[in-house]
């Protein structure tokens, strides 16, 4: 049997009760060697398994903490849920918790579900009994009935029922799958977007190179920014969101899509986009196959090709004594700081007169300006370290206002020449997305 065709039971269990551990070990014993079992704190890579079953107790209306962490890191796999709780298993509360558990794994396919009673921690029972009348968790006859009913669970009958559910689910997963999938593929370029008409030339150039790299495939475009989409819609230009574009592709009969990520790094917009795409990563509701390309600044290995692409944006007349100032966007919460710092270090190690700063985050403008003044720089080329030359490039970088980078550098005696083109307008950079 291949390693892929194995199942895993992951449990999180409180020491005082051991409910989920008992259930998990019992189901494992019943189902045999095709099933591994482990504590959530020691969970291996889930991608090694064809089915992952999560066994947990309920605390404050949610799966236990260790299991929640596991659920958040699994994606696009077959999963199962085994839940124990002090409330009645068929109660609205139980079904709400089950829904929350499934919501943590929204890109996964739930192959089986099981809910049963689980005995309560004696210390918790004592705290309930100590509550004042009128408290929603105070002791009473109805609560006493539920606690007493849960005391002997999970029992042998619970374990047998759970084992039957997941044995059936496992047999379906192992059954040979039909191989008559005929791929109908499209390419979707997913970019932040721009409301500046001239700036869209960068996206047009990227799209040209993406089409050259994917001959015969239809290529579509989506913007992740709702603000940009609303602005351009007022002028009669309608570009869908990523979710909207994917929905159109599903309705048009496409079953496979390559999403080209037109972003510098895996920041906030990138993760929002991945969440939107996750809703379609289900063969019953969306696509049988989804491929998402990484941002251009993704790993240490991506720094060299990015540097070479940036060189193509530097005017040929630039002398080695002239500075090149690159303005990136950044993030005010510092989420992208390390990526920008790594890029700044890489570029400076190859050309000490290339300086990279950000509008928000670090390295900031003051760090760039101080370094330039310390070196006695007299002339600088200002280039947006951005895919499109939008508002930040036009105003914050090269604007005539006193607080623009150009004005502030010129006040220090540095002559500035603006290069108002997004990097996407240069072929060497656009080709980084042509995957």
* Residue from 117, 153, 329, 392 carrying the catalytic annotation: 329
Cross-strand partners of 383:
326
8 Å CB contact between 4 and 46: no
329 classed as catalytic: yes
> Among all residues, which ones are annotated catalytic?
329
């Amino acid at each position: 049997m291949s390693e892929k065709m194995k199942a895993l039971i992951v449990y999180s269990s409180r020491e005082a009760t051991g409910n989920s551990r008992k259930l998990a070990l019992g189901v494992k014993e019943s189902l045999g060697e095709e099933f591994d079992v482990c504590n959530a704190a020691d969970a291996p890579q889930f991608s090694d398994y064809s089915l992952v079953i999560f066994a947990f107790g309920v605390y404050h209306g949610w799966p236990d903490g260790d299991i929640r962490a596991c659920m958040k890191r699994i994606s696009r796999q077959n999963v199962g849920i085994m839940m124990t709780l002090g409330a009645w298993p068929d109660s609205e509360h139980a079904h709400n918790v089950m829904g929350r558990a499934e919501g943590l794994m929204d890109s996964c396919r739930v192959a089986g579900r099981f809910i049963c009673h689980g005995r309560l921690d004696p210390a918790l029972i004592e705290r309930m009994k100590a509550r004042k009348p009128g408290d929603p968790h105070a002791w009473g006859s109805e609560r006493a009935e539920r606690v007493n009913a849960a005391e002997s669970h999970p029992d042998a009958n619970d374990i047998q029922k759970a084992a039957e559910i997941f044995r059936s689910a496992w047999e379906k997963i192992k059954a040979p799958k039909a191989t008559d999938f005929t791929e109908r593929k499209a390419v979707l370029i997913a970019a932040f977007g721009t409301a500046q008409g001239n700036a869209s030339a960068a996206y047009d150039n990227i799209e040209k190179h993406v089409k050259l790299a994917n001959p015969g495939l239809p290529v579509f475009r989506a913007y992740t920014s709702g603000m940009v989409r609303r602005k351009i819609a007022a002028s009669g230009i309608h570009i869908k969101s990523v979710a909207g574009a994917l929905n159109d592709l599903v309705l048009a009969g496409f079953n496979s899509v390559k999403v080209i990520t037109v972003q510098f790094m895996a920041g906030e917009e990138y993760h929002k986009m991945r969440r939107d795409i996750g809703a379609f990563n289900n063969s019953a509701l969306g696509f049988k196959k989804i491929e998402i390309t990484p941002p251009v600044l993704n790993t240490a290995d991506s720094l060299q090709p990015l540097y070479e692409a940036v060189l193509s944006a530097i005017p040929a007349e630039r002398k080695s004594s002239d500075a090149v100032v690159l303005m990136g966007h950044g993030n005010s919460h510092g989420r992208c700081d390390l990526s920008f710092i790594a890029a700044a270090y890489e570029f400076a190690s190859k050309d000490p007169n290339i300086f990279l700063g950000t509008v928000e985050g670090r390295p900031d403008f003051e760090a760039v300006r101080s370094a330039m003044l310390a070196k006695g720089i007299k002339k600088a080329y200002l280039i947006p370290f951005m895919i499109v030359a939008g508002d930040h490039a036009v105003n914050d970088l090269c604007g005539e206002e006193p607080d623009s980078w150009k004005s502030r550098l010129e006040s220090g005696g540095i002559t500035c020449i603006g290069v108002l083109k997004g990097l996407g307008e240069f072929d060497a950079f656009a080709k980084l997305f042509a995957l």
